[in-house]
Amino acid sequence: MKEYLIVIPYCAKGAQGRELEYAVAGWRRHFKEPFRIVLAGADHPISKSGDDICCVRSRRVQGREGSWRPHLDYVSCLRKVREAFPDTEGFVMVADDCYAVHDFDIHDVMVPKFLGPTGEAYNPANGWSVDKHRTMLALREAGLPTNNYTTHLPQWYEWDKLAALWDKYKMDEVSHNMEDLYYNTYAGDRIALNVHRQDVPYKCGLYAQGYTESILKYAAEERVWITNSPEGWSDTLAKFLREYYGI
């Protein structure tokens, strides 16, 4: 039976609480396919917690003027993962602050998901914003759509297609938004789901303080994943996840 590769880029310096442990627990409890989780980047004791998880170490790359270092790191560590698993066709990439709270399968991961069109907002002081804008301009120049696929949810990538984009856009040296490039290039005519819609039951995103435990309980009943940004991490979320996973 095919084993799916789940890649979680991990930087210990940026970790908050036990979110990596909760993220791994979510895959183990709710993903209904054979899988292996790969921590890409820094190691963590959880990589020794079972046969279904391991670590591919990758040092952080040097920063480059005009590029956002985390996006350069993604390309560097993913190249190492591909070398470590040369027989895999592709992989699922997911953040360490994305927690499954409902059963799902590979089809739920593979269906394209987006947030609408990429906005024109641009902040030259924010590396992530610079990359979104740079990527949007590259897509326009190529005559491609400019939808916003940065959903903070698990996404499927085929190695050969992704590597072709790394090389074409020189992404080892010039950072871009990988998910926007990949899905606007390759999704084609596939119908993408807007995860902002209430009737699309995939995401509960927490990106600021002020939410209540009732929101989390609702998400556990009606959504597949809960995600958070650093600004959205809270004692309320930590307590909910600790009790939900029992760890």
pLDDT attached to residue 15: 81
pLDDT level of residue 118 (50, 70, 90 thresholds):
confident
Report the distance separating Cα 163 and Cα 169, nearest Å.
Answer: 10
pLDDT attached to residue 16: 84
Look at the domain 4-193 and name its fold. Spore Coat Polysaccharide Biosynthesis Protein SpsA; Chain A (3.90.550)
pLDDT attached to residue 14: 76
Work out the average pLDDT over 68-83.
97
Work out the average pLDDT over 111-126.
88
* Structure tokens, 112: 């394209």
Pair 38, 8: CB distance under 8 Å? yes
pLDDT > 90 fraction of the chain, expressed in percent and rounded: 90
pLDDT attached to residue 63: 92
CA distances from residue 143 to 23, 100, 137, 174, 179 in whole angstroms, order as listed = 37, 36, 10, 20, 17
Residue 231 has pLDDT above 90, yes or no: yes
Chain mean pLDDT for the chain: 95
Report the distance separating Cα 28 and Cα 131, nearest Å.
Answer: 33
208: burial class by Cβ within 10 Å (0-12, 13-18, 19+)? exposed
pLDDT > 70 fraction of the chain, expressed in percent and rounded: 99
pLDDT attached to residue 1: 59
pLDDT attached to residue 189: 66
Residue 103 has pLDDT above 70, yes or no: yes
Report the distance separating Cα 23 and Cα 100, nearest Å.
Answer: 7
Work out the average pLDDT over 218-246.
97
